[in-house]
Structure 1
Amino acid sequence: MARKKIDLSKIHGRIQFVRSFPDYKVKVVDHFPDLKVKQVTHFPNKPGLWKIVNSFPDYKIQIVNSFPDFKIKYVKHFPGVK
């Protein structure tokens, strides 16, 4: 059965990195990301803006090397869906 396509424009807000039971599995890449991510401390209210937290996340993310749900690249400018 094919997996439903993820709406990456909704992946923003409070992000918690976990080792198990993630909402999404993500691979960090240097080229050809699905989502460009900028880490922020305030107002993570647009696609690609992530505030890293330890509790009460909007999404739980697990960093993996293979079989990711999508790929990200950390950027300083112009975050969002590629």
Structure 2
Amino acid sequence: MLAILVLGVGAASASAEDKIGKNCTFKGKKLWGKVQLVTSGGDLKAEVVDAFPDLKVQKVTSFPDACGKWQIVTSLPDLKVQLVSSFPDIKIQYVTTFPGKP
């Protein structure tokens, strides 16, 4: 039974790593820059979590130039994100330092 549990955890970790590419993209969309939060029709669906995120996000007011740095805007976004509570494409955790892949 322990072997099954260990294998299950390994499979979950591998799929989380596969969601976000090494170049910090999801399905070809970069995960930094100017981000607009929308209620529907986003480029991706994200769930905000307190632990075990796929991406750590730092909200910034300027220079969103690195993985996980999001400048929240209301127009002309690089990425549109729909926040959901179930069935997300990725899970994010808001942080004040060290954004990016955990």
TM over 0.5: yes
| TM-score between the two structures when normalised by the length of structure 1 | 0.90
Percent of paired sites with the same residue: 54
Unaligned runs of 5+ in 2: 1-17, 25-29
Please tell me whether Structure 1 or Structure 2 has the larger radius of gyration of its CA atoms.
Answer: 2
Once the two structures are TM-superposed, the CA of residue 6 in structure 1 deviates from its matched residue by: 4.1
- The residue that corresponds to 1:41 in the other structure is 61
Q: Which runs of 4+ in 1 moved over 4 A?
A: none
Where do 1:1-82 residues align within 5 Å? 5-7=19-21, 9=24, 10-82=30-102
Gap change, CA 1:79 and 1:5, over 3 Å in 2: closer
Unaligned runs of 5+ in 1: none
Question: Larger % of strand: which?
Answer: 1
**Considering only aligned residues, what root-mean-square deviation do their CA atoms show, in Å?**
1.5
Question: Larger % of helix: which?
Answer: 2
| TM-score between the two structures when normalised by the length of structure 2 | 0.73
Q: Which one scores higher on RCO, CA 8 angstroms, separation ≥ 6?
A: 1
Once the two structures are TM-superposed, the CA of residue 18 in structure 1 deviates from its matched residue by: 0.4
